[in-house]
Amino acid sequence: MLDRKALRKEQTYTSLQEALASPEKVYKLSIGGQNLEEFPESIFQLDRLQKLSLERNRITSFPQGFDKLKYLQSLDLNDNDLEKVPLEIMELSNLEYLRLDHNRLTHLPSEIVKLKKLKSIDLSENQLETLPPEFGGLEDLIRIDLTLNHLTELLPEIGGLKSLQVIYLDYNRLSHLPKSFGQLSQLRILYSEQNQIQELPQEFGQLGQLKEIYLNNNQLTNLPDTIGLLSNLIIINLNKNKLTHLPETITQLESLESLDLEGNQLATLPKGIAQWRSLMALDLENNHLFDLPAEIGDLIHLQSLNLKSNRLFELPEELTKLKRLQELDIRMNQLNPKEVRKLIGLESYCRIQVF
């Protein structure tokens, strides 16, 4: 089996006929977009194959014999006509990358746990309603994409994915995340946009490696106090939820660089925001803010501040301390000309939108 560096140098065959003429030379085969309805059994003659792509075909059935592809590490079956995951591929003991997106899958077989070396699986744009409990046994899995399915819940066994770093859950029907989600100790990035999530478990604070959260367009009304424990967070996107307040502990996120809270129902900000020393972008558009804490002037790295469509009737003079501010939007508030004049000191280096 070739290592990754050597494999990159090998030719990718795009003709099965050509590949079969020299099977001992074939490590990569890509025969997508050829209207294949069945998996070609002749591929099993390519016993050195490590990467196989059959995307954009019409494959619905698979033969026995996948055990002959004992070196296969990557299999791409995206955009076919699969209604179920072929059990035959569970024989691929060295498989690390599997694409099954853009099919018509309604469930995953429990046998998927046999793919012990699997690192990445793409199941986006299918019709999955749940995952089998056995899925949590894929301990080497680093990345999973479940975007655009019909998931209504994640089973507790999801916490077994000890190596998981990135998960995509966008555009499903999730109303909550299980407590076991906090066991994903290696998780770096969470995408769960466009769901119906109403709350996050307290165990969410155990995700100590988390760097980016995308939970926009959900139904969140509050955040757990334990969010303050996520000291590695850099990006938080919570726009278009139903947040009425922020826990004071959120001010402990000193590494935070971008915070998007647009489209919530916030009336105030916690006074401890001076601790957001790394913050560069703050979006508070379309909330219910009446005023801003003076501590906002301590956000010395802030470059973009969006205050559009709130209920502000005064501005703190401390805004003029934001020497790195490049964009400020205060449109659609209740500010009189006197308040706007407080910003004169910013005009030389900051684009201010007033009307």
Q: How far apart are CA 258 and CA 285, in angstroms?
A: 14
Please list, in sequence order, all residues whose beta carbon lies within 8 angstroms of the beta carbon of residue 293, skipping any fewer than 6 positions away.
268, 269, 270, 271, 273, 316
Whether residue 139 contacts residue 115, with contact meaning beta carbons closer than 8 Å, is answered with: no
pLDDT recorded at residue 309: 98
Provide the strand spans (E) within the chain: 12-13, 28-30, 51-53, 74-76, 97-99, 120-122, 143-145, 166-168, 189-191, 212-214, 235-237, 258-260, 281-283, 304-306, 327-329, 351-353
- pLDDT interval class at 271 (50, 70, 90): confident
Pairing type for strands 327-329 and 351-353 reads parallel
Mean pLDDT, the chain, whole residue set: 96
Please, what are the domains in the chain? 254-355 (3.80.10.10)
Residue length of the chain: 355
Q: What is the pLDDT of residue 78?
A: 98
What is d(CA 340, CA 294) in angstroms, rounded to the nearest whole number? 16
pLDDT band at 79 (very low <50, low <70, confident <90, very high): very high
**Percent of the chain beyond pLDDT 70?**
100
**What's the pTM?**
0.95
pLDDT at 355 over 90: no
Contact 206, 187 (CB under 8 A): no
Mean pLDDT in residue range 56-69: 95
| pLDDT tier, 337 (very low <50, low <70, confident <90, very high otherwise) | very high
Is the pLDDT score of 345 beyond 90?
no
**DSSP of 151-178, one letter per residue?**
-----GGGGG-TT--EEE--SS---B--
CB atoms within 10 A of CB 207: 24
Per-residue pLDDT tens over the stretch 143-195: 999 999 999 999 999 999 999 999 999 999 999 999 999 999 999 999 999 99
Percentages (nearest 5) of helix, strand, coil residues in the chain = 25, 15, 60
Tokens found for residue 313? 């009737």
Residue scoring higher pLDDT (344 or 78):
78
Q: What value, to the nearest 5°, has the Cα angle with vertex 218 and ends 217 and 220? A: 130
Query: What pLDDT, in 10s, does the model give residues 209-228?
Result: 999 999 999 999 999 999 99
Task: Kindly report, residue by residue over 285-334, the tens digit of the pLDDT.
Answer: 999 999 999 999 999 999 999 999 999 999 999 999 999 999 999 999 99
d(CA 305, CA 281): 6
Tokens 């165990």 belong to residue: 203
